[in-house]
Amino acid sequence: MNVSETSPATLSEFDAIDHALVDGVLARQLRPLAKTITLIESQREDHKLRARAVIEALLPHTGGAMRVGISGVPGVGKSTFIEGLGLYLIEQGLRVAVLAVDPSSSLTGGSILGDKTRMEHLSHHPQAFIRPSPSACSLGGVAEKTRETMLVCEAAGFDVIIVETVGVGQSETAVANMTDIFCLLQLPNAGDDLQAIKKGIMEIADLVVVNKADIDPAAAMRAKSQIKTALHMLRPMSQNWTVPVLTLSALNQDGVAEFWEQVTNYRTVLTRTGEFEAKRRHQALAWMWDMIDAGLRSRFRNHPQVKQTLPQLAAAVEQGTTTPSVAAMRLLGYLN
């Protein structure tokens, strides 16, 4: 949706209120940034419309950040690592935004990053911006809001956007699909790497980190070589990138600079081959299809005739008096 194509009512509303938001975000002010994100996260239709118009206006100013996904099971050290990495990047003169994708937050009411004390120093730093996971009913909803928030943060001039997710469920794939590089944090336990392989997470990792190497450096080295062997057996995401495995101590800030060196290395190599931009184009298109799928699904569920007939047809399918395909065709027919 282009701003110029919105309905007159929306446009006047946009004129009245939201130019201030757009200008504020572009001026790198945190209040308009937070306000825009609140609009994005709102369930109200008018807020969603306004959010879309603001994002559309900000779009030419997006794309400048390095988008880094970070995943790992609870307790692996994600927040300790992100705090250390964030402070390191700020020292390098960069501005850092930290976002989160945690679909469980709508169930539990809490969320990763909800508790700001997890990254106490970073959250108080003027060059950093930390936002907890939006709460939405579905992973799709959470991912969409986080993607939009990421774009707004880019327009606000953040150089690095870190998107954190917990190592459970499908949220890893969602984060890998919205970031440039997906990093997996592992514990130096034997067998931990097998878990990640089983769940298919190792396959989507561009960089693997064995954290807590300070506890038992020898165990960390063993884990590193096991993971390297395991990665060898997987099909590489890119022919031009061998997934590095690093050992690191987030607690001691040991290995953070090497981590960032690998991230920039990744960017350099894949930019040279054209894969970096291709990945972003592919992600944008996949996002569009996600939105189309979600839109169709919601239109379908809200269609009056579907609403009326669905319970009977669902019951008939359950009882075996109608086939699933006949029921589906009949329901889909209402959309014509």
Long-range (24+ apart) CB contacts under 8 A made by 116-124 are: 118/79, 118/83, 119/79, 119/82, 119/83, 119/86, 120/83, 121/83, 121/87, 122/82, 122/83, 122/86, 122/87, 122/96, 122/98
Check binding of 177 to ligand GDP (CB under 6 A): no
CB of residue 141 vs ligand GDP: minimum separation in angstroms?
A: 23
| Contact of 311 with 301, CB cutoff 8 Å | no
- Quote the Cα angle for 50-14-63, to 5°: 65
**To which residue do tokens 């975000």 refer?**
25
| Region near ligand GDP per CB under 6 A, out of 42-50, 201-209, 245-253, 271-279 | 245-253
Site residues for ligand GDP, 79-98, by CB under 6 A, read: 79-80
Q: Of 26, 197, 251, 317, which one interacts with ligand GDP (CB under 6 A)?
A: 251
Structure-block tokens of residue 104: 């469980």
6 vs 186 by CB, closer to ligand GDP:
186
Check binding of 165 to ligand GDP (CB under 6 A): no
CB of residue 325 vs ligand GDP: minimum separation in angstroms?
A: 45
Q: Of 56, 192, 203, 214, which one interacts with ligand GDP (CB under 6 A)?
A: 214
104 vs 211 by CB, closer to ligand GDP:
211
Residue nearest to ligand GDP according to CB distances in the complex? 77
| Region near ligand GDP per CB under 6 A, out of 39-47, 48-56, 244-252, 285-293 | 244-252
Which of the 8 DSSP states describes residue 44?
A: -
- Quote the Cα angle for 154-141-96, to 5°: 25
CB of residue 142 vs ligand GDP: minimum separation in angstroms?
A: 18
Q: State the amino acid at position 103 in one-letter form.
A: P
Structure-block tokens of residue 178: 């919205």
Question: What is the Cα–Cα distance from 287 to 273, expressed in whole angstroms?
Answer: 23
CB of residue 134 vs ligand GDP: minimum separation in angstroms?
A: 18
Q: Of 105, 133, 165, 211, which one interacts with ligand GDP (CB under 6 A)?
A: 211
Q: Of 77, 132, 134, 244, which one interacts with ligand GDP (CB under 6 A)?
A: 77
- Quote the Cα angle for 265-155-148, to 5°: 90
Chain residues that interact with ligand GDP, rule: CB under 6 A: 72, 74-80, 211-212, 214-215, 249-251
